[in-house]
Amino acid sequence: MLRKTLLLSALTALLAGTACLAAAQDAPPPPAAQGAKPMPPHGGMHGPQGWRDHGMRGHGDFGGPGGAVISDLRGLERLYVLAGRTKELPALYDSVLAKSQDPMVRTYVYHHLARLQAQPANVDEAIGTLRKSLDENLANEAKQHAMMEQMRTQWQQKHATGTAPAPAAH
């Protein structure tokens, strides 16, 4: 008896879910604002040549301190595109680069700036922007690697002698 009840409940839930999905697919899309351009796709974001224009893992949530900045930038980008004001985006990106030192934010901005620069067939400027981003990321990676090596050496010294080493002067 319990088995039949569970099976019937599961079947009912499956049918209800299927009905909701079918109803959602049949619903007409919301009316677009007059004169507004369609919103850019959320996620993937491929540039004109098909290369990915961001170095982020995943397409949704950006964690860490720069996550809120990137989220705000994505919202602003959509609004600028919707309003047909994409020519104002490079100035926005330049101001973010002047204010932020977060490597994740800077990489995101460099990649989006390069995408904008490549669209009117100014590929050389886009290449320069991406090379600048690459140089910054390589410098950050080298700095992080050096810090990790220093920590590893300190850990090995501590465990080899049984005492903690003196703190390094900065």
Question: For 93-138, what is each residue's pLDDT tens digit?
Answer: 999 999 999 999 999 999 999 999 888 777 888 888 889 998 998 9
Handedness of CA 37, 38, 39, 42 (dihedral sign): negative
Q: Which residues of 136-163 are buried (b: 16+ CB within 10 A; e: fewer)?
A: ebeeeeeeeeeeeeeeeeeeeeeeeeee
Q: Are 124 and 150 in contact (CB under 8 A)?
A: no
For the residues 67-76, what does the mean pLDDT come to?
90
- Dump pLDDT digits (tens) for 43-52: 444 443 333 4
